[in-house]
Amino acid sequence: MLGARLLILIAPVAMAQSLDFEMYKSRVEPIFLKKRPGHARCVACHVDAASAFKLQPLPDDKHWSEDQSRKNFEVVSRLVKPGDPDASRLLIHPLAHDGGGDIFHAGGRQFATKDDPEWKTIAAWVSAAK
């Protein structure tokens, strides 16, 4: 009886560890490299910007190595709450305030609303970690 209760308490924490690296690398990371109209690329600022979102320097302006992607994945994973996009800083900070995001991001309103396809892609990665 007590054992079953403990399991219920512990299970969500254990399952929340499962952000998927392959999905991150193939679908999420390319968004950091893409130029959005009217905005600089995330990577243009987030190699140097004084924030917790710190990407690896790009070796050739186009691709990160596998090892660098792993390091990026570790950093980015700390900016999301697995299973909960709306509580994930990576998603809420660059989202326009009137679209449900933070009041100010020095890198602009990169996503106007939660219907932005790339916002949804990142959200799908975060949601999959349940």
List residues binding ligand HEC (CB under 6 A).
39-40, 42, 44-46, 49, 51-53, 79, 89-90, 93-94, 104-107, 110
Instruction: Confirm if 43 and 32 have CB atoms less than 8 A apart.
Output: yes
Tokens representing 124? 């799908």
Q: State the nearest-atom distance from the C-beta of 45 to ligand HEC, in Å.
A: 3
Q: State the nearest-atom distance from the C-beta of 14 to ligand HEC, in Å.
A: 26
The torsion region of residue 61 among left (phi > 0), alpha (psi -120 to 50) and beta comes to left
- CB atoms inside a 10 Å sphere around CB 101: 21
Q: State the nearest-atom distance from the C-beta of 1 to ligand HEC, in Å.
A: 42
Q: Which is nearer to ligand HEC, 95 or 129 (CB)?
A: 95
Q: Which is nearer to ligand HEC, 11 or 106 (CB)?
A: 106
Instruction: Confirm if 25 and 69 have CB atoms less than 8 A apart.
Output: yes
Q: Which is nearer to ligand HEC, 58 or 79 (CB)?
A: 79
Tokens representing 79? 């900016």
Q: State the nearest-atom distance from the C-beta of 84 to ligand HEC, in Å.
A: 15
Q: Which is nearer to ligand HEC, 51 or 127 (CB)?
A: 51
